[in-house]
Amino acid sequence: MIRNRSEAKVSEGDGSEVRGGEERRGVGASRPRSERSNLQRGIIILPSAFTLASLFFGIWSIIAALRGDLAFAGWFIVTAAALDMLDGRIARFTRTGSTFGAELDSIVDGISFGVAPAVIIYHLYLADANWSWVVAYLYVGGTVLRLARFNVEQGGHAKVQFHGLPSPTAGMVLATFYPFSQTPFFVQHLAHLPWPMIMTGFTLFVAALMVSHIPYPVFPKFGIRSGRELLKLGAFGALLTVVLIAPSISVFPLLVAYIIWPLLKAVFLGLLERLPERDPLLDVEDEGSEQVAGEARAIEYENMPTARARQAPEREPSPDANLRLRGDPEPSEGP
């Protein structure tokens, strides 16, 4: 009986009281803590859910292109780009950015904005020749190189501008060409141009821009605190309205303008930085020089040192010489 009683005491001290303490501490806190952990877990998963949704539309775009629905394939890539933009903003807003999310985003971007647009261009203009698929390969290679360089140079840092063309923009501009080519404006005014050759060169051009160091602006931040911010918000609203009303004829030209304008700006500023201040072939002295052209300057030859004096090394005077210079008597050798 004593043993059972002692065991019961131990049971009460090591089990029941502890559990009771946990119950006393957890009656009002266990459920909120569980709810907070579930909410935090859900917030962490939210950016990755948008990333996987971008992957879903990227795969759907590939399937649609293989079935011949190139228009739907192009708009699926635009949808994937919108989701790709949202996942990064959600991660920054909820402060749930992680290395895992960055790596997942890069892999998804390589598929949605690298492989999917390449499949569209291949089925549109490259399927007839034997080695034309190399163009699609070079585009996908430029996309993955651009993503790898972005993770090394700008990943995890606040971005004022992109180094090179962003891969979502490159994917969208190739994907939206086919819807643009089906508009009445294109059929009436642009259909006669050699578009297979143009789009092949344009694909390689876009791939080169992705691995270049040309600065491209990031998506602007909007506000209502100043007139400039209100003007920027109004311009964006007008562009968004045009895109929503007539997407087929507006998205592709706007993306081309976004690609070309920073390139022209970089080339123009680069030429200005390399222009010399004056013509190097003209032998004209500067205005601030002391010597005026045609005016001879007198030279005093008496004060010029001789060649022997220039070659002789300078020697420090001895202490005895210093004493003699001051007029002190010369030290005697004996007492």
pLDDT surpassing 70 at residue 236: yes
pLDDT at 311: 58
pLDDT at 36: 52
For 29, 125, 197, the CA distances from 194, given in Å and listed in that order, are: 71, 11, 6
Q: Which range, 52-66, 147-161, 254-268, 287-301, is most confident? A: 52-66
User: What is the rounded distance in angstroms from the CA atom of residue 304 to the CA atom of residue 296?
Assistant: 18
Side chain identity, residue 13: G
Which is more confidently placed, 310 or 234?
Answer: 234
pLDDT at 81: 95
Share of the chain above pLDDT 70, in %: 65
| Tokens, residue 259 | 């690609």
Which is more confidently placed, 193 or 154?
Answer: 193
- Quick one: average pLDDT of 234-251? 90
- Quick one: average pLDDT of 283-303? 51
Give a yes or no: residue 330 inside a domain: no
Mean of all residue pLDDT scores within the chain:
77
Which is more confidently placed, 259 or 234?
Answer: 259
User: Which pLDDT band holds residue 175 (cuts at 50, 70, 90)?
Assistant: very high
pLDDT at 273: 66
Q: How many domains does the chain have?
A: 1
Give a yes or no: residue 75 inside a domain: yes
- Quick one: average pLDDT of 134-155? 90
Q: Tell me if residue 216 falls in helix, strand or coil.
A: strand
By residue range, what is the domain housing residue 218?
A: 38-273
Give a yes or no: residue 315 inside a domain: no
Q: Which range, 38-52, 56-70, 127-141, 231-245, is most confident? A: 56-70
Side chain identity, residue 122: Y
Q: Tokens 């949202």 map to which residue? A: 86
pLDDT at 35: 54
Tens of pLDDT along 11-38? Answer: 444 444 333 433 334 444 444 555 555 5
In degrees and rounded to multiples of 5, residue 217 shows phi and psi of -70, 150
pLDDT surpassing 90 at residue 204: yes
Which is more confidently placed, 263 or 284?
Answer: 263
Task: For residue 163, list its beta bridge partners.
Answer: 215
**CATH number reported for the structural domain that contains residue 70 in this entry:** 1.20.120.1760
Give a yes or no: residue 91 inside a domain: yes
List CB contacts of 248: < 8 A, sequence separation 6 or more: 179, 180, 182, 183
Give a yes or no: residue 278 inside a domain: no
Q: Tell me if residue 90 falls in helix, strand or coil.
A: helix
pLDDT surpassing 60 at residue 153: yes
Give a yes or no: residue 317 inside a domain: no
Give a yes or no: residue 321 inside a domain: no
- Quick one: average pLDDT of 255-262? 94
User: What is the rounded distance in angstroms from the CA atom of residue 116 to the CA atom of residue 73?
Assistant: 8
Give a yes or no: residue 120 inside a domain: yes
For the entire predicted model, the pTM comes to 0.68
For 264, 282, 307, the CA distances from 112, given in Å and listed in that order, are: 28, 57, 79
List CB contacts of 216: < 8 A, sequence separation 6 or more: 161, 162, 164, 165, 166, 169, 258, 262
